[in-house]
Structure 1
Amino acid sequence: MNIMKSFLSVLLACFLSFQVASAQAQSKTPVDYVNPYIGNISHLLVPTYPTVHLPNSMLRVYPERENFTGNTINGLPLIVTSHRGSSAFNLSPFQGDLLNAGSTIHYGYDNEIITPYYYAVDLDDEGIYVKYVPSHQSGIYQIAFSQANKASYLIFNTRDGELVTDGKTITGYQKLGNQTQVYIYLETNTPPLKIGTHKGQTIQTTDKTTRGNNAYYIMEFPKGLPR
């Protein structure tokens, strides 16, 4: 059965700068033989994590889950700030009743693909398919929503920091400890209908700034998004 899908691309820029990453078809090179899953199960020590990371680059991510055998992921990663540490910020695509939304959504997942330069995953419980490519200080998510008759949402979270919106983009920071902060800039290829804080079944667009632990904005997009 053919499923109509709508697409949304998200540009994420860290450390106050951004670049446009483009994926081009290439023949296999040595990096394609790298297996990021090696060491992901550990009997004694903390396991390694399947990391998407270009050489000598600031931006790196890996799925937010306990280990290789974990059957859920906590939103989508944006930037890992320390060795084997948790991600700063979080992105959760969503379709459905806003009463069921929160700062981070936990997904069942399948069909995961991870290479040093690419991440793809099927959020099968939600009918959402995700692709991601990194650059040196930025990354692009492409998100395909399968329920074309429903509005689409992106939930953008900072675990301890501040977010600011102008109605089209989101900027902000997250505190990491030791007087260190990481900054981010987010924009989408399709302009959102609204951006605001979450109030039950509504999005409060008058809140141009939100801050604190697990502060988050919700971006709403029209039904049947174009690619």
Structure 2
Amino acid sequence: MARQWPTYVAWGLIVQLLAACSGEPASNNAAPSRTRTEGRAASIGERKLILAFGDSLYAGYGVAQNESFPHELEKALKARGDAVEVRNAGVSGETTQGGLQRLAFTLDGLPRKPDLVLLGLGGNDMLRGLDPAQSEKNLRAMLDMLKARKLPVMLTGMLAAPNMGAAYADRFNAIYPAVAKDYGVPLYPFFLEGVVGNAKYMQPDSIHPNPAGVDIIVGKIAPLVLGRLASQR
């Protein structure tokens, strides 16, 4: 596959990631945080509401909240002329099972139905070597829930690190294209595309993007988000 993790990512880094994420425990009932201050010009009814529901890559592990993916995505969308709010519902260390357990609570805690849900989970399942079949089952259950609530979705995917072995990678990497196709949702195949393996864009753990890396990711995903929002008008 053309898109892949650099082969020098060692298992020790994966263990380091799990330890780091586990060091930031969060309740499954964690409410999504705002990425903009109060007193904004547009009311919640006047601007698009996007829920960024994922793991540490969404939560902003290792960067300031005003440098996180949801915050920078909102900033980029505003710069393109859209009135939008992106709610950060990322939890470090989250698995697809944990996401499934808190999705309904998170949705119910929003001021209104979101115009788009960005779903980015599964990376921690892979790093822990969890059964890809169970990860896929959990993702499908979340998409079933979002479909039942008539909520538009965009999926951001993950690829298995080469350390997991070819057999595991083949099973894991097939999850996101299959799920996206079956549910008819747009897919950004690899969240870390263009940044992983480049020290300029990654934190010292070689797995989480630094602020410059977040900017690269946002630059790739923002146009797709705009397209998804536009298709609903």
> Normalized per residue, which structure has more helix?
2
**TM-score where L is the length of structure 1:** 0.29
TM-score in terms of structure 2 length = 0.28
